[in-house]
Amino acid sequence: MKRSTVLRRLMEENAPVVAPGAYDGLSARLVERAGFPAVYASGGAISRSTGIPDLGLMSMSEIVARLETMVDAVGVPLIADADTGYGNALNVQHAVRAFQRAGVAGFHLEDQAFPKKCGHYDDKSIIPLKEMSQKIKAVKDASEDSDFVLIARTDGLAVEGYDKTIERCHAYMEAGADVIFVEAPTSVEQIETIAKDLPYPKLINMFHSGKTPLVATSRLGELGYAIVIIPSDTQRAAIGAMERTLKAIRRDGHSGSMQEEMVSFRDREVIIGTDAYMAKDKSYAA
């Protein structure tokens, strides 16, 4: 079964689909091993993993190359971040074909002006409603996978306010989006009101210390949110662990004091699947 089909079935039968963020093959595999039904390929986390901020600095080709490694590492659907589609409607069509060749199950496309900013940064700008609607139609026209999940994201709350944002959401769904994503609501009441005013499958972004308050997954499901993404918490946890380990190495000359926080050499190889690779290598030995 296509992973896009799996994702659609999950949204229908097991919503909300909780998809923690990952940024490379290893982190994607850890999400899958933890039992989650889908992986979110966070554009911000991918960007930060290269040492640069989430400001639309990476090219589509760089993102797609990373997505290919992540898709290959897991068996569950991967939801990708397509930012603004890297340009106009023609760029968006080029992007959806590339993302589908990489094997992702769906992506979200946002209405920020290019180059974009992280949705929880200040001073964002957005394109006109009609322009974004045409980009959504362009994705649908270019898609070669009828089950590919197109998530339309709006950053309008911080720019135009609530009422115009809801107007955008209705227009984006009418243009052909499958799921609507209102970025960065700032209160529980707003999360609930969005759910009431938008009777469509919805995605919400949940992570600690952002502009959006944390709400229990069970409550989000009751409100009709079909997908919950947690974009970069895994990366932030990894940064903390690496910093603690590096401090120990600088202090002691080795990481002995950190052993309780580290997986063993052997456990790492199990996660990577080294034994299976070695067995396959032997099977082809001359």
Residues marked as catalytic: 40, 54, 81, 83, 108, 110, 118, 153, 183, 205
CA distances from 63 to 51, 85, 173, 203, 283 (A): 14, 11, 26, 22, 34
Place of tokens 């991918």: 46
Q: Are 260 and 46 in contact (CB under 8 A)?
A: no
